[in-house]
A and B are shown apart, each in its own frame.
Chain A
Amino acid sequence: MFQTLTSRFAGAFGTLRSRGKISEKDIELAIEEIREALLEADVALAVVESFTENVQNHALEILPTLQAGSNQAEAIYSVVNKELTEILGGGARRIRFAKKPPTVIMLAGLQGAGKTTLAAKLAKFYKDQGETPILIASDLQRPNAVNQLQVVGQSVGVPVFAPEPGNGIGNPVKVARDGVQFATSKLHSMVIIDTAGRLGVDAALMQEAIAIRDAVTPDEILFVVDAMIGQDAVKTAQAFQDGVGFDGVVITKLDGDARGGSALSIAALTGRPIMFASVGEKISDFDIFYPERMASRILGMGDVATLAEQAKKAFDGDTAKKLEDKFSSGEDFTLDDFLEQLEAMSKMGSMGKLLSMLPGAGQMKKQIENFDESEITRTKAIVQSMTPLERRDLKVLNGSRRARIATGSGRKVSDVNALVDKFTAAQKMMKQMRNGGSIPGMPPMPPMPSGMRGPGGAAKAPQKKKSKSGNPAKRALENGSIS
């Protein structure tokens, strides 16, 4: 999630990091890149402008206090991080529980945002925490929405209050009111009300939402929004805020590859925090939204918790083994394999950073510092912006596809071309190697982006005498790129 936005930021900061002493001009250039990235990520223009202005001001403010050296970029970076976290909602807020149960939660949002599925996820989430939720079927509009709620409610073992068949029949306000009464009498500790999807511009339906609100006085009204929404997020969120009003935001479908910039817009413009994230079709694909984590993620830093999880994956050697098998079985080395390699590498890189903080890691430190992660991130971004077909078959990459990939990854078309050329050459080389008989246990070397040579992207990383790395990508890096 937020993948491409992440790589854009990483790109901007990679450039900053490579500078000895950051100048005002450097900051301006980085800000320009951030602006483009945010727009490409569907962040509303108004938010982009005020965000970049704030960052620029703060960055320029602290610039004179910074010493030359690698910490400068980190300092600027933390300005962006802080600004982003603040917009996304500061510290994560939890649901406000009613003093006198039941706690009433009302869901509102556009059609197709994912409210019904979310209602069940929320119920399950709180049921697991010891609450006794009940779902109320107040979407009497969409055909078989009541039905759907009953099915998902049953699947999480939560009762559903559904006195009306729906499909246009029944009064949603009355259902909500009766439902809360029923829940109170049956001592349920929580009520979650599913409502019909409605457009911000639909005055009659907005009035209906207001009537439901007034009938049950919810403790929390949650605005449910699809991560794929574009610039309309602003108008719609505003309309819901001015209409029924809401206390928090839930983003759904974050398991897609949408950049989710709308989340930033909504949080910034309404001042309402994002509280939950829905990340898949399974009921368990749901979590509290962590603004700090998310901001770090957006900025390409990854957070320690995630890092620890990923470290395991990076070190299990599976990737290298898989690649070796593939190579010896005579299959082509594809960009997907390459991506996996890069991923393993960047995980090791971040891991290295973590390790370097441990006492006694001084020896490793130098190598770690020479590892320019941002270049990996940038290369990764290019590959990630390709479709599965493109990754399998580079031949389909015509001009317009290359342009799309460049836009998507925030790189230039020439960067895309360079990667494709190098990759094609490497693929060919590997074929030749294979035909000439490969060295057993020696996996192929993927091509390395040219900038991956330590700080500044100019000097070569100190060449090591002998590779110790079991990871072919890492070893290729140690050996210098084959470009």
Chain B
Amino acid sequence: MGLFNRLIAKVRGTSSASAVEWSEIESELLASDLGPTLVSALLAEAKKLPGDDVENAMKEILRSKLSRKSRAISSGDSTQIVLVVGVNGTGKTTSVAKLATRLHEEKQSVLLGAADTFRAAAVDQLTTWGDRIGIETITGKEGAEPASVAFDSAKRAIDENVNYLLIDTAGRLHNKNDLMAELGKVRRVVEKVAPVSEVLLVIDATTGQNGLMQAQIFSEAVEVTGLIVTKLDGSARGGIALAIESSLDIPIKFIGTGEAATDFAAFEPEKYLDGLLA
């Protein structure tokens, strides 16, 4: 039983928790990176309830913060173009590989686009993954314009009529206006060929309150349609993702739980909530 559950157990049966217990619950919630604002709101709601119901009530309140949008990856008859974006080191390239593996196993035809032309050896990293999976990776010359690589991959994907094109992009901090503009251009250029059906923002589960700003600014630049939360195999519980869902209504679609191609799963809300309150 996790610390949180023990606290809940203490509260159970009493008409209400003591100030000390509430402050312990507060610190557990804060430790999940839900953020002080969301935590105070949660506590305010929970304090109105009798002790017996706190555990369920807390979960119910958290559940109500989740997005109601679909968590499935976009699908259709035409080629689905998926753009994967995020700040540096969150696990974009690995997530592209994992998603490709999953789609490939579902017998979908997949093409990779290596539009991270910035980081040293990033193209090789993606190509290595592509080779392992047995799918093709479209690359440009080193230092090529990311938009032009994205454009070329989109053309190839449409020509070959593949089911999915997954485009990996360079990591960028959201406060760098020029890099965000570059990303906007990648999207616009791809859309000259075909519509982008999905933009997935990769959020590292260890991210703190800055994640909200990341999500907001990436959304403004390229209209994020879903989140991938990575590194949930660590000690971080990834509460920032819930804070993002609740404030921006962007659904978490997948989670990453390791470095192997198969350490990847569709997001399961109940499991996640259990983890948050573990």
Check B216–A199 contact: CB distance below 8 A.
no
- Encode A354-379 as 1/0 by CB contact (under 8 A) with B: 00000000000000000000000000
Q: Which has the most chain A C-beta neighbours within 10 Å: B27, B87, B88, B124?
A: B88
- Please report the C-alpha to C-alpha distance between residue A113 and residue B231 in the assembled complex, in whole angstroms: 12
- Please report the C-alpha to C-alpha distance between residue A217 and residue B41 in the assembled complex, in whole angstroms: 50
Known: A148-B121, A151-B120, A408-B213. A388 touches B177 (CB 8 A): yes
Check A111–B231 contact: CB distance below 8 A.
yes
Check B30–A39 contact: CB distance below 8 A.
yes
Contact check: which of A228, A233, A403 meets B87 at CB < 8 Å? A228
Check B91–A111 contact: CB distance below 8 A.
yes
Q: Is B129 an interface residue (CB 8 A)?
A: yes
Check B35–A400 contact: CB distance below 8 A.
no
Those of B200-218 within 8 Å (CB) of chain A: 204-213, 216-217
Q: Which has the most chain B C-beta neighbours within 10 Å: A42, A114, A236, A389?
A: A42
Contact check: which of B118, B128, B176, B239 meets A167 at CB < 8 Å? B128
Those of A233-262 within 8 Å (CB) of chain B: 233-236, 239, 253, 255-259, 261-262
Q: Is B278 an interface residue (CB 8 A)?
A: no
- Encode B218-251 as 1/0 by CB contact (under 8 A) with A: 0010000000000101111101100000010000
Check A40–B87 contact: CB distance below 8 A.
no
- Encode B75-88 as 1/0 by CB contact (under 8 A) with A: 00000000000011
Check A253–B88 contact: CB distance below 8 A.
yes
Check B125–A45 contact: CB distance below 8 A.
no
Task: Tell me how far the C-beta of A413 lies from the nearest C-beta in chain B, rounded to whole angstroms.
Answer: 11
Task: Tell me how far the C-beta of B7 lies from the nearest C-beta in chain A, rounded to whole angstroms.
Answer: 14
* B231 / chain A contacts, CB cutoff of 8 Å: 110-112, 199
Known: A112-B89, A257-B213. A400 touches B206 (CB 8 A): no
Q: Is A226 an interface residue (CB 8 A)?
A: yes
- Encode B28-68 as 1/0 by CB contact (under 8 A) with A: 00111101110000000000000000000000000000000
- Encode A105-145 as 1/0 by CB contact (under 8 A) with B: 00000111110000000000000000000000000011111
Check A230–B216 contact: CB distance below 8 A.
no
Q: Is A420 an interface residue (CB 8 A)?
A: no
* A230 / chain B contacts, CB cutoff of 8 Å: 33, 206-211, 236, 239-240
- Please report the C-alpha to C-alpha distance between residue A389 and residue B210 in the assembled complex, in whole angstroms: 17
Those of A249-299 within 8 Å (CB) of chain B: 253, 255-259, 261-262, 281
* B216 / chain A contacts, CB cutoff of 8 Å: 387, 404
- Please report the C-alpha to C-alpha distance between residue A388 and residue B174 in the assembled complex, in whole angstroms: 10
Check A257–B128 contact: CB distance below 8 A.
no
Q: Is B119 an interface residue (CB 8 A)?
A: yes
Contact check: which of A152, A233, A389 meets B120 at CB < 8 Å? A152
Contact check: which of B125, B173, B204 meets A112 at CB < 8 Å? B204
Check B129–A45 contact: CB distance below 8 A.
no
Among residues of A, the one whose C-beta sits closest to the C-beta of B203 is A228
Q: Is B139 an interface residue (CB 8 A)?
A: no
Q: Is B14 an interface residue (CB 8 A)?
A: no
Q: Which has the most chain B C-beta neighbours within 10 Å: A152, A232, A233?
A: A232
Q: How many of chain A's residues touch chain B, expressed as a range?
A: 35 or more
- Encode A144-167 as 1/0 by CB contact (under 8 A) with B: 110110111001000000000001
* A40 / chain B contacts, CB cutoff of 8 Å: 35-37, 209
Check A112–B90 contact: CB distance below 8 A.
yes
Task: Tell me how far the C-beta of A120 lies from the nearest C-beta in chain B, rounded to whole angstroms.
Answer: 9
Among residues of B, the one whose C-beta sits closest to the C-beta of A226 is B89
- Please report the C-alpha to C-alpha distance between residue A232 and residue B32 in the assembled complex, in whole angstroms: 8
Q: Is A231 an interface residue (CB 8 A)?
A: yes
Check B206–A226 contact: CB distance below 8 A.
yes
Q: Is B160 an interface residue (CB 8 A)?
A: no
Task: Tell me how far the C-beta of A121 lies from the nearest C-beta in chain B, rounded to whole angstroms.
Answer: 13
Q: Is B268 an interface residue (CB 8 A)?
A: no
Those of A36-84 within 8 Å (CB) of chain B: 36, 39-42, 44-46
Q: Is A397 an interface residue (CB 8 A)?
A: no
Q: Is A200 an interface residue (CB 8 A)?
A: yes
* B262 / chain A contacts, CB cutoff of 8 Å: none
Q: Which has the most chain A C-beta neighbours within 10 Å: B88, B176, B207, B209?
A: B209
Q: Is B259 an interface residue (CB 8 A)?
A: yes
* A45 / chain B contacts, CB cutoff of 8 Å: 27, 30-31
Task: Tell me how far the C-beta of B206 lies from the nearest C-beta in chain A, rounded to whole angstroms.
Answer: 5
Check A256–B173 contact: CB distance below 8 A.
yes
Among residues of B, the one whose C-beta sits closest to the C-beta of A41 is B209
Q: Is B15 an interface residue (CB 8 A)?
A: no
- Please report the C-alpha to C-alpha distance between residue A231 and residue B237 in the assembled complex, in whole angstroms: 9
Check B206–A255 contact: CB distance below 8 A.
no
Check B36–A39 contact: CB distance below 8 A.
yes
- Please report the C-alpha to C-alpha distance between residue A412 and residue B120 in the assembled complex, in whole angstroms: 44
Known: A152-B120, A199-B234. A142 touches B259 (CB 8 A): yes
Task: Tell me how far the C-beta of B229 lies from the nearest C-beta in chain A, rounded to whole angstroms.
Answer: 13
Task: Tell me how far the C-beta of B59 lies from the nearest C-beta in chain A, rounded to whole angstroms.
Answer: 20
Q: Is B175 an interface residue (CB 8 A)?
A: yes
Known: A42-B209, A114-B88. A144 touches B124 (CB 8 A): yes
CB pairs A–B below 8 angstroms (19 shown): A42-B33, A111-B231, A112-B231, A141-B259, A144-B121, A148-B125, A202-B233, A202-B234, A228-B204, A230-B206, A230-B210, A232-B234, A234-B31, A253-B89, A256-B174, A257-B210, A388-B180, A404-B212, A408-B213
Which residues of A come within 8 Å of B, CB atoms? 36, 39-42, 44-46, 110-114, 141-145, 147-148, 150-152, 155, 167, 199-202, 226, 228-236, 239, 253, 255-259, 261-262, 281, 387-389, 400, 403-404, 407-408
Interface contacts beyond A142-B125, A281-B118: sample of 12 additional A-B pairs, CB < 8 Å, sorted by A: A40-B36, A40-B37, A148-B120, A152-B120, A228-B87, A231-B208, A232-B33, A232-B205, A232-B237, A257-B174, A404-B247, A408-B212
